[in-house]
Structure 1
Amino acid sequence: MNSNSAPIGIFDSGYGGLTVFREIEKLLPQYDYLYLGDNARAPYGPRSFETIYQYTWQAVQWFFRKGCPLVILACNTASAKALRNIQQLDLPKTDDPSRRVLGVIRPTTEVLGQYTQSGKVGVLGTAGTIRSESYPTELKKYWPEVQVYQQACPLWVPLIEGGEHHAPGADYFVKKYLGQLFAQDQGIDALLLGCTHYPLMLDKLREHIPAGVCLVVQGEIVAKSLVDYLARHPGMESRLSKGGEHRFCTTDNAADFERQAGFFLGREIEASTVQL
């Protein structure tokens, strides 16, 4: 990307945001994109509110320095624990308060109620996302009649990033967390994968969820929401560069990132290591 590029920034604590990027790229291939995984400090899920907020704001500022007028937090934990402060407290104080930072929780909750017939939705996520209560809070705004049941799945991200999510040993932890969720209410008929890593476990999850339960994946939802956002904000859309270029960065080892990213994207990429 040249110095005049104004790419869309996509951020995740690690690799999970690539599942969101993949869907955004399908619908909006004409734009330039800059992806950053903060792998050196991942996972974010177990960390405190203050730490997640600090890390996420550092990353957002890095995107701004790289010319991104729009940043997508393609990470449920960052969206849950940092987005509000960044939008309300930090952006107005920057040298360009017209820049925008968007998350994945709001667009998901806007449509989540469409996936349930029983009015009972389950949310699977990291410990940080579940503790934040962001999904129950946001869902009440759009679907007040829907009941939300949550379950933290702290070992799923390590399994995925360790390449063990298809191994037989993963079944134990899949059944454990699903069992704890459905023990809360057997009537749950829609199951949100509230972590962008979890789509890599779709096949494994389908083996163990009850018949008739709908699995809801965020990537396509967020991508469609971004299409709508840009249509409603032509001022922002006109600022974005359209060369179809992609750049991938990590705060850790670039070779490791390239290898893992191939599993998430289904293709080879080149990455570079950066410091925030």
Structure 2
Amino acid sequence: MSNERPIGFIDSGVGGLTVVKEAMRQLPNEEILYVGDTARCPYGPRPPKQVIEFTWQMTRFLLKKNIKMLVIACNTATAVALEEIKKSVDIPVIGVIQPGARAALKASKNSRVGVIGTLGTVKSDSYKNELQEKAPETYVSSLACPKFVPVVESNQFESSVAKKIVSETLKPLKLENLDTLILGCTHYPLLRPIIQNVMGQQITLIDSGAETVNDVSTLLDYFNLNNYEQTNQKARTFYTTGSPKMFKDIAHEWLQIENLDVSHINLGE
């Protein structure tokens, strides 16, 4: 059976596009609806209650569009809102933390794993708990990187400013003898070349968003939700609460798609 309903992706801004890029590669027939709450980004410093509220607003918007699965492509939102949303809706809901943790354990040889994320994600200890629940002997070093998301959202992720910020922020992690580093925010893969350069080639970087798409693929099979019809480019629709132009610029560069369909929406107030 073919199921042509779309998969919904939500994020605090443009970060979830790193997940969409992987989804387009692995699941080319699937229709994609994406909501980026750029106007209220970043979520990292916000109180959990507010993040839950914003995540619900994006979720309700997409449920009205008849999605067949929801991907919370934001680590901060996954950390605080995933369980509540999962229990309350009748479609499969996936977050980015579990797949990222699983991939890190698989990749690490010395059981010393670093996690970089927003203030909210690091404070929640979600990655640490997930890693140590699966492998109690794992040493986990977590670091909040509050300046990374604004650099990406302002489309400066290849600039000398980005290089300086990444280099200064990651200094403490270089002393930790890690062999694996989880990019615990879906914005961070846009900074991946700089992060790799700063940490060194010997460190394996885990893109939690890309790992999540493997789970999406598995669940589509499990629930028999695959779309077997050939999808055209129109089947990728993007909504932002911020500037469609800014969103389009970053999305075009990252996804390499011409004529992106980007609309402005208002959520909440």
TM-score (norm. length: structure 1): 0.88
- State whether residues 6 and 241 of structure 1, in contact with CA within 8 Å, keep that contact through their aligned partners in structure 2: no
Q: CA deviation at 1:154?
A: 0.5
Instruction: Answer yes or no: is 1:271 the counterpart of 2:262.
Output: yes
Instruction: Name the SS of the counterpart of 1:46 in structure 2.
Output: coil
Q: CA deviation at 1:206?
A: 2.2
Aligned residues: 261
Instruction: Answer yes or no: is 1:135 the counterpart of 2:134.
Output: no
Instruction: Answer yes or no: is 1:45 the counterpart of 2:40.
Output: no
Runs (4+) of structure 1 exceeding 4 A deviation are 240-243
- Which string of whole-angstrom CA distances, capped at 9 and with x for unpartnered residues, describes residues 17-57 of structure 1? 00101101111111111111111111111101000000001
Within a 5 Å distance, the mapping from 1:13-32 to structure 2 comes to 13-32=12-31
- State whether residues 127 and 153 of structure 1, in contact with CA within 8 Å, keep that contact through their aligned partners in structure 2: yes
Match of 2:11 in 1: 12
Instruction: Name the SS of the counterpart of 1:77 in structure 2.
Output: helix
- State whether residues 32 and 241 of structure 1, in contact with CA within 8 Å, keep that contact through their aligned partners in structure 2: no
Within a 5 Å distance, the mapping from 1:229-248 to structure 2 comes to 229-234=219-224, 237=225, 242=229, 244=231, 245-248=235-238
- State whether residues 116 and 184 of structure 2, in contact with CA within 8 Å, keep that contact through their aligned partners in structure 1: yes
Match of 1:94 in 2: none
**CA distance change for structure 1 residues 60 and 241 in 2, over 3 Å: closer, same or farther?**
farther
Instruction: Name the SS of the counterpart of 1:15 in structure 2.
Output: coil
Instruction: Answer yes or no: is 1:214 the counterpart of 2:214.
Output: no
**CA distance change for structure 1 residues 224 and 5 in 2, over 3 Å: closer, same or farther?**
closer
Within a 5 Å distance, the mapping from 1:14-163 to structure 2 comes to 14-88=13-87, 91=88, 97-163=89-155
Instruction: Name the SS of the counterpart of 1:16 in structure 2.
Output: coil
Instruction: Answer yes or no: is 1:224 the counterpart of 2:214.
Output: yes
Q: In structure 2, what residue type is equivalent to 1:143?
A: A
In structure 2, which of residues 194, 197, 209 is the aligned counterpart of residue 204 of structure 1?
194
Measure, in 1, the Cα distance between the counterparts of 2:158 and 2:93. 34
Structural RMSD (CA)? 1.9
Identical aligned residues as a percent: 35
- Which string of whole-angstrom CA distances, capped at 9 and with x for unpartnered residues, describes residues 206-230 of structure 1? 2211341111122331111211122
- Which string of whole-angstrom CA distances, capped at 9 and with x for unpartnered residues, describes residues 101-160 of structure 1? 211111222222011111100011111111111001111232222111100110011112
Measure, in 2, the Cα distance between the counterparts of 1:165 and 1:33. 25
Higher mean displacement: 163-172 or 256-265 = 163-172
Q: CA deviation at 1:231?
A: 1.8
Instruction: Name the SS of the counterpart of 2:160 in structure 1.
Output: coil
Unpaired runs of at least 5, structure 1: 92-96
TM-score (norm. length: structure 2): 0.91
In structure 2, which of residues 162, 173, 178 is the aligned counterpart of residue 188 of structure 1?
178
Measure, in 2, the Cα distance between the counterparts of 1:165 and 1:61. 31
Measure, in 2, the Cα distance between the counterparts of 1:212 and 1:256. 35
Higher mean displacement: 174-183 or 111-120 = 174-183
